[in-house]
Amino acid sequence: MDQAYAQEFRRQGHMFVDFMAEYYKNIDKYPVRSQVEPGYLKKRLPESAPYSPESVETILQDVQEHIVPGITHWQSPNYFAYFPATSSVAGIVGEMLSSGFNVVGLDWISSPAAVELENIVMDWLGQMLDLPKSFLFSGNGGGVIQGTTCEALLCTLTAARDRVLKKIGRENISKLVVYSSDQTHCAFQKAAQIVGIDRKNIRAIKTTKSSSYGLSAESVLSQINLDVEAELIPLFLCATVGTTAITAVDPLKPLCDVAKQFGIWVHVDAAYAGSACICPEFRHFIDGVECVDSFSFNPHKWLFTTLDCCCLWVKDPSCLLSTLSTNPQYLKNEATDQEPKEQEVGYKDWQITLCRRFRSLKLWVVIRNFGVANLRNFIRSHVGMAKLFERLVTSDKRFEVAFPRNFSLVCFRVTPSAVMDKLRTKYKNGTYDQYRQFSEEERTNEFNRELLESINVSGKVFMTHAIVGGIYVLRFAAGNSMTMESHVRAAWTVVQEHLEAF
């Protein structure tokens, strides 16, 4: 039976590898954003599960015919939407190893390598980011791989909440207040609601152009003072390095200076931009990280690792343990009965779930297969592509870069005056009624929205949008493993062509 299983794995495994290699070979021939209509798949698949077995050949054929058309091709070299989910051959192979072994990381004995490799890789990665030693296992902190940022926030919020409620009594939970900016990812609000923070105590502090949409320490202080006066209790601040909309950066040091006066837990969410900070020239964006309580970023965004992979470091793991620990009888064994050692971190007590995959394997394979040098080179090349796109935008007077570019994202739009020119030409004699009702700013936004939609419908590239400070922008996010300069230039041509054809 072992032999039969191994043989069948070999047969199907090779078949899959060839299938996926063909997919990559042809990936730029598919429309980037899926063009199916809602409900397309229901019409194509049976209403109930098959009673008899179907061959992998049949299934792969159906994947090609029915699934691939319904996929938005995140790995396409012409994909520039949201933030990329930068994958790599090493990442996929690492994930394959993890699902091949399919061990369940409950605790140390359930697979020692799963725990110990995670300890090691999190220290490696912490060093690569030049995190202070207090975040590393070698400095009595430590790191854990979660699925996504929302989980990291949920764990740290719970830890912070219980640390405070232990002192002031659980009945005061409704008085707790959490802080972030109006640019913070909505995962923060969601996590705060889950842990029982009253919605009306979740502060999304307004950011402005003057601080490049970063969270100003002064605004936070004013809000905290108001809350304290109202006898509320400041609990947690989520600072973002590289916001979702326009990659704005909250200034860590000034924010910590304020937060520390009130004993507030400070978490840094660097989901996307954290990866860039392995390059010395970008490291300054997380200056001040030595003052915060916890820090997370997602290698599944921009560090060549497949979904999901969110790395969280804390200075004081005991805060997580005291609130997330469980010690059921069925997991007791000789290892758990002894004093916990660094190598015996029970990751089940560092996260929401009790069981988990061998999460560190793919990250380890990626880091080794690239090496720090090449990880940096690729990050730099992605930033280089964004710079190239930025130059192309600025060289065309009809367009403007709307917000400063910090990393590999360019936020751009057709200028208000170019929009007016275009509308005047298109609707001669001033019959552009649909736009008349709008102010100039609204008109510009609506025009850019329509432009983006026409670009995306073409299927040639896929970009998304943001609205910040009332300005609608098209977002060009570079960073896919298969993207080259030629794709960037082609993408720019697509944008220009669609403006011309408007």
Q: Is 471 left (phi over 0), alpha (psi -120 to 50) or beta?
A: beta
Tokens of 313: 């470091």
- Coil, strand or helix: which one is 387? helix
Closer CB to a copy of itself, residue 172 or residue 221?
A: 172
Sketch the per residue contact string, 228 through 247, with a copy of itself: x for CB under 8 A, - otherwise.
Answer: ----------------xx--
Strands (E), 110-192: 142-146, 176-181
Smallest distance, a copy of itself to C-beta of residue 387, A: 19
Q: Is 10 in the site for a copy of itself (CB under 8 A)?
A: yes
Sketch the per residue contact string, 316 through 335, with a copy of itself: x for CB under 8 A, - otherwise.
Answer: -------xx-xxxxx---xx
- Tell which one of 30, 131, 164, 185 touches a copy of itself (CB under 8 A): 185
Smallest distance, a copy of itself to C-beta of residue 205, A: 16
Closer CB to a copy of itself, residue 171 or residue 231?
A: 171
Sketch the per residue contact string, 122 through 151, with a copy of itself: x for CB under 8 A, - otherwise.
Answer: -xxx-xx------------------xxxxx
| Window 339 to 378, contacts with a copy of itself (CB under 8 A) | 341-344, 352-357, 361, 365, 367-374
* Angle, vertex CA 139, rays to CA 265 and CA 352, nearest 5: 50
CB-based burial label for 274 (10 Å; 0-12, 13-18, 19+): buried
| Window 292 to 311, contacts with a copy of itself (CB under 8 A) | 306-308
Closer CB to a copy of itself, residue 191 or residue 495?
A: 191
| Window 81 to 120, contacts with a copy of itself (CB under 8 A) | 82, 85, 87, 89-93, 95-97, 99-104, 106, 108-114, 116-117, 119-120
- Tell which one of 223, 415, 454, 481 touches a copy of itself (CB under 8 A): 481
CA–CA separation, 38 and 263 (whole Å):
49
| Window 386 to 445, contacts with a copy of itself (CB under 8 A) | none
- In sequence order, the 6+-apart residues with CB closer than 8 A to the CB of 220 are 179, 205, 237, 255, 258, 259
Q: Taking the CB of residue 163, how many other CB atoms lie within 10 A of it?
A: 18
Whether 120 contacts 363, CB under 8 Å: no
- In sequence order, the 6+-apart residues with CB closer than 8 A to the CB of 245 are 183, 213, 411, 466, 467, 468, 475
Smallest distance, a copy of itself to C-beta of residue 231, A: 14
- Tell which one of 65, 70, 208, 440 touches a copy of itself (CB under 8 A): 70
- Tell which one of 204, 291, 482, 490 touches a copy of itself (CB under 8 A): 482
CA–CA separation, 481 and 265 (whole Å):
36
Cis bond leading into 316, ω under 30°?
A: no
- Tell which one of 131, 154, 224, 289 touches a copy of itself (CB under 8 A): 154
